[in-house]
Amino acid sequence: MKQGSLLKNQIAMNLFIIIIMFGGLLFSIKEYNEYTESVFFNKARILAADQLSEISKCFIKGKFEYRKDISLEYPFVVVDLKGEIIYSEKPSYVIGDRVTINEFIQIDQSLFENDKSIVKTTFAIVKEEGTVGFAAFFLPREKIIKASKERIIWNIFKGMVIGIILVSFILMFHSLYMKKRLLLPVKEMIESSKAIIKGNYDVKVIKAKENSVMSDDIDKLSYNFELMRDELKAKMERERELTRSQKELISCISHDLKTPISTIKAYSEGLRDGMAAEPEKVQKYANIIVDKTEVLTKMISDLLEHSNAEINQLTITPREQYMNEFLENLVKEIKGVVEHHSMDFYYNNNISNMLVSFDEQRITQVITNLVDNSLKYGKKDNGKIGIDVYLKDHESFIAISVWDNGNGIPVHDIPYIFNKFYRGEKSRNMSVPGSGLGLSICKYIVEKHGGEILYENKGKDGGKGSKVSFSLPL
């Protein structure tokens, strides 16, 4: 539908009203002119009709004999069928003269123009034997006007009256239309804007359309205002969530940073105070400080990744590459790390070397993070860590699972393990270092690739190991 403009509609309405009023005026002028030639003469014929019956009685056996006992109000002239004037009360018509019948019975425009106070009207005089003559009556104009004053007024002004009535109805409906399409939406926008100023983003503009096909500017304005309100509401909720997340971040990370910082401080003071005199002890203190520094570095890195994910600035740059070549290079590094922790490593790949679109750096981050969790929480004696690669969902996704034979986690903790800062009480009681952000970041990366990440215990109610699987679309 072609979009209209409120201004254009208003201009069109004003022009329409002007046309109606002008048309009514022209109609009234036309009615007035027609009245002088039609209404006046019709009324004159009605007034003269009574005299005509009296005049017809004066024709006896085809001859006209005027009776003195007849008193007629209006002067008249009578002619016979030959055009001879047989009776006249007008000096301009002389008895015995002849006139042309056709001219006589027609309206005498010259008379009307010369004497606007007189109106002439003619009749045929009809008896039983047929037409016997013609009579012309001359009536005062004032008499006609007085007799049809109401009709005159109506005929002259009915065009304007009808036009005014039509305009009144149009203005009434137009005002209702403007109230519904202009005033009510504007009022709603005013109320909504007042609420927004006070921090309430839930006052909707009901008149806003639910689609982008608009009929006029007010519809477009109300629709765009509602889009703006929804956007402001979403941004405010996002800011509130970020503020809450920042408070949660400070609270949680201050607790997790306290232990490694305290350890580094204690061993640094021991070195400063000479508590480690032997070279072996110095080396031991230095190694502990380095290890705790690495823990802090990892936690700070996780915090940075989490912050970028929170504001949607964690860069994900997928590109097509062969999955098996990528995994083989990564597995070599992981195998060395796992075996360094005196644990067995297993790698099972059931897919062909296919092209997959993914961000190599981010998927490496996901897999190493999952392996790191297995190293932290897996069995220290006879520990096992494995990576399985396979196709799922009718070969539309590639799945990668990282598993271990550790303690697993309690069933009631499973729904929360991908939440930021959630590590579970068991993990905290074990004094395992970490920020609690690793799995949250992994979830963000996988979902940005169009996949999903899931956790499951290999045994019932925890125990016998954990398994985290994520998928990538092909």
**152 within domain boundaries:** yes
Regarding whether 363 and 228 lie in a shared domain, the answer is: no
pLDDT over 60 at 466, yes or no = yes
**178 within domain boundaries:** no
**176 within domain boundaries:** no
| Model pLDDT, residue 323 | 92
Quote the number of domains for the chain.
3
Regarding whether 350 and 296 lie in a shared domain, the answer is: no
**197 within domain boundaries:** no
Q: Please report, for the domain that includes residue 250, its CATH number.
A: 1.10.287.130
Regarding whether 340 and 306 lie in a shared domain, the answer is: no
CA distance 427 to 440: 16
Q: What is the DSSP code string of 240-291?
A: HHHHHHHHHHHHHHHHHHHHHHHHHHHHHHHHHTT---SHHHHHHHHHHHHH
pLDDT above 90: percentage of residues in the chain:
12
Which residue type sits at 438?
A: G
Closest CA to 433 of 266, 268, 260, 250: 260
Q: Which of 288, 314, 340 is the last residue of a domain?
A: 314
Q: Please, which pLDDT band fits residue 197 given cuts at 50, 70 and 90?
A: confident
Regarding whether 214 and 289 lie in a shared domain, the answer is: yes
pLDDT over 60 at 36, yes or no = no
Burial of 358 (0-12, 13-18, 19+ CB in 10 A): buried
| Model pLDDT, residue 3 | 43
Mean pLDDT of 453-470: 79
CA distance 95 to 72: 19
pLDDT over 70 at 47, yes or no = yes
**345 within domain boundaries:** yes
Mean pLDDT of 132-161: 71
Regarding whether 232 and 95 lie in a shared domain, the answer is: no
Q: Please, which pLDDT band fits residue 429 given cuts at 50, 70 and 90?
A: very low
pLDDT over 90 at 199, yes or no = no
Are 232 and 201 in contact by the 8 Å Cβ rule? The answer is yes
Q: Please, which pLDDT band fits residue 459 given cuts at 50, 70 and 90?
A: low
Crossing angle of helices 184-197 and 217-272, rounded to 10°: 10
Lowest-confidence region among 49-63, 94-108, 109-123:
109-123
Question: Which span out of 16-25, 33-42, 168-177, 385-394 was modeled with the highest average pLDDT?
Answer: 385-394
Q: Please, which pLDDT band fits residue 346 given cuts at 50, 70 and 90?
A: very high
The predicted-structure confidence for 249-304, as pLDDT tens digits, reads as follows: 666 566 566 667 777 888 888 888 888 778 888 888 888 888 778 777 877 776 77
User: What's the domain range around 462?
Assistant: 316-473
| Model pLDDT, residue 474 | 86
| Model pLDDT, residue 430 | 43
Regarding whether 112 and 31 lie in a shared domain, the answer is: yes
Q: Which of 269, 284, 314 is the last residue of a domain?
A: 314
Regarding whether 440 and 349 lie in a shared domain, the answer is: yes
Q: Which of 287, 314, 341 is the last residue of a domain?
A: 314
**167 within domain boundaries:** no
Regarding whether 331 and 257 lie in a shared domain, the answer is: no
pLDDT over 90 at 402, yes or no = yes
Regarding whether 281 and 347 lie in a shared domain, the answer is: no
Q: Which residue has the higher pLDDT, 179 or 104?
A: 104
pLDDT above 70: percentage of residues in the chain:
71
Encoding tokens for residue 105?
A: 């019975």
Residue 371 CA to chain centroid, in angstroms? Answer: 50
Mean pLDDT of 91-114: 74
Mean pLDDT of 334-355: 89
CA distance 333 to 124: 130
pTM value surpassing 0.75: no
Regarding whether 245 and 98 lie in a shared domain, the answer is: no
Encoding tokens for residue 432?
A: 């395992």
Average pLDDT, the chain: 77
pLDDT over 90 at 315, yes or no = no
